Structure 1
């Protein structure tokens, strides 16, 4: 039985066959432990880890030693935020600036820090889901330890002004100013240019959003004036990853992430063109239904469409479309139980729009989507 088109690439992507081939080789043939340096198996594994580190660093204009491998963007976010806690407590800088539309992997660690005496300012977005750089910068105080702003929202695809925020922080003229963390789980490999700004200290990336396997990601911890961000480990038990992330390195997954990163950068323009064509076709088919589309079309990832059809409930819509396309109603990472989107609520949208929004997301590899048939089915529900 043929499967319906997969339109949930913001939740996860298929592994690129070229990446899968490399991963399997390091599972079955080159299966050594990168920490075993006394034989050729371990040496081969270590070389591949080094290669992956170099590949990822090259995409971010960073140094390989600034790349820390993790289990994914959630762990990277936690390490970036909670890992700075001790430095904040020691320095008396106990204020964090973030936004109300961050992923829970950022918001929940920030909430945890509030139980340890930290204060947090959450900047709200406009009605299209974009925060203003000026509002973020205006929330910075002398005791601000960290500014954390996602690059692209996982629900709406709205791109946030991380470059302008980075420049604003640089213009504060204080080399010891707040650390700047960017959750780039959705944008890495798609909108990488802004992530090369050297005033961004910490960047979280995820393997399974960029056609690598699940279970691997990375945190870029960029040096500023020759000094690393003063991160402390969240776990203990080994000296791997410069003492910040103990445990045996998952060499096959790391190898896959390294190759996926290199391929995404090399094919970035071509992939973006393909995604824009799919988006245009979707919007053309849906236009007669007068939908509400979230995010400014000039500042949104081309592979995510957050859309509401007036008078229709998202849950009912997904059920009606299940034999035509695999779609979602928001983040797949937040909870196993459905609840209204905190992102859409923060945007100040009416409750009927919030409860009626679905997310359709695709990739350059997505086959033909029957947009007209989908639009007809939605039209019959109205």
Structure 2
């Protein structure tokens, strides 16, 4: 009989909630109409459902219905936000962008493209050992020609929460726009995203929705729209910013997942924190350090380095107990040090061997942290 492996990698992706799967199945097999079809009831029902989903998602971040556009996920949302702002920067002569060195590649790579191919100046701020970029450090870099600040909500490797709400209030008094990649924070740190953030990228598969769906919130400043231009063309759907037939089943899955998360967030947070306490208590029998400010982190992501242990070898050793990761799933094929931990100024051996545990509390009921800790402790140098 094979061992039961506990999945502790929800920062990479989550299992689709069965209730969400039922909703997706319904909109794939029964109400399967194209939301753009105007000549029959099938299309009308799909269009009405999408609008209901749009209104709900807008409400979760304090936005207006028309300020939400649906995308294939946070990567596409990030690209629309960053590349879509570039023409305005070029026309206005504001070609300076501020970001952090710990962003996801879905932000870093579009910004490198703007720098290398279109002459933008990009400041990559390093957060220091806490893993948190300070509001003051960002504001010190803002200049008259600063077009945009792009700062993630929750770091995908350390779980550290960035000061996006405070930054939004400051930048709202300037011409500089704020983009927030909220892939890891949406649904979990709800109040932050109700701050006046201009652009918010959302991912469905981090909250129990299917892969391949997300959203971009484009919040107005008074009557003024965010000056985005499309990066794709063909059909004019989603305010001409994101063409293509709307994936109604996936959108409705995102809607259902967001609804479930909103209804249960307080309990989810409490249970996730309890799981964190259990895991940390068990790990006391090992020698480890937490990477990032534990007091400024979401409760369900924990990045640690175990003294004297190679992370890749450790993952192989514990693969029959838990499924964990060394960092972002998008770069997991690489054995180079984590760019996040490196940017935090951590020593090479720490940055190379960071291990990320991430969980949803309802899915780890049978997890044995004591057993995991025993395995790790026995592997460490000097163990009996």
Shift of 1:336: 3.5
Superposed, which structure 2 residues align to 1:1-382 within 5 Å?
1=2, 3-115=4-116, 116-170=118-172, 173-174=173-174, 177-198=175-196, 200-334=197-331, 336-367=333-364, 368-382=366-380
Displacement of 1:113 after TM fit? 0.4
1:264 deviates by 1.1
- Which string of whole-angstrom CA distances, capped at 9 and with x for unpartnered residues, describes residues 198-239 of structure 1? 2x1000010000110000000000011211111111111111
**CA distance in 1: counterparts of 2:21 and 2:111, whole angstroms:** 35
TM-score (norm 2): 0.96
- Contact 2:287 / 2:377 at 8 angstroms: preserved in 1? no
Between stretches 184-193 and 362-371, larger displacement belongs to: 362-371
| d(CA) in 1 for partners of 2:190, 2:336 | 31
Give the 3-state SS of the residue equivalent to 1:195 in structure 2.
Answer: helix
Cα separation, 2, equivalents of 1:39 and 1:293: 57
SS at match of 1:267: helix
Any conservation in 2 of the 1:125–1:132 contact (CA below 8 Å)?
yes
Distance 1:66 1:125 in 2: 31
Alignment RMSD: 1.0
Superposed structure 1 runs of 4+ greater than 6 Å apart: none
Give 3-state SS (helix, strand or coil) of 1:96's partner: strand
Shift of 1:323: 0.5
Is residue 204–residue 213 contact of structure 2 (8 Å, CA) maintained in 1? yes
How far apart are 1:168 and its partner, in Å?
A: 1.9
Q: Shift of the alpha carbon at 1:337?
A: 3.2
Q: Distance in 1 between matches of 2:8 and 2:17?
A: 17
* CA distance in 1: counterparts of 2:346 and 2:214, whole angstroms: 33
SS across alignment from 1:12: coil
In the TM superposition, residue 288 of structure 1 has moved relative to its aligned partner by: 2.4
Cα contact 2:291–2:354 (8 A) shared by 1:
no
Are the equivalent residues in 1 in contact too, given 2:219–2:225 (CA < 8 A)? yes
CA deviation vs aligned residue, 1:243-297 (integer Å, no higher than 9, x gap): 0001000000000101111221111101001100110000000012131102222
Task: Report the TM-score when normalising by structure 1.
Answer: 0.97
CA distance in 1, matches of 2:142, 2:337: 30
d(CA) in 1 for partners of 2:299, 2:122 = 32
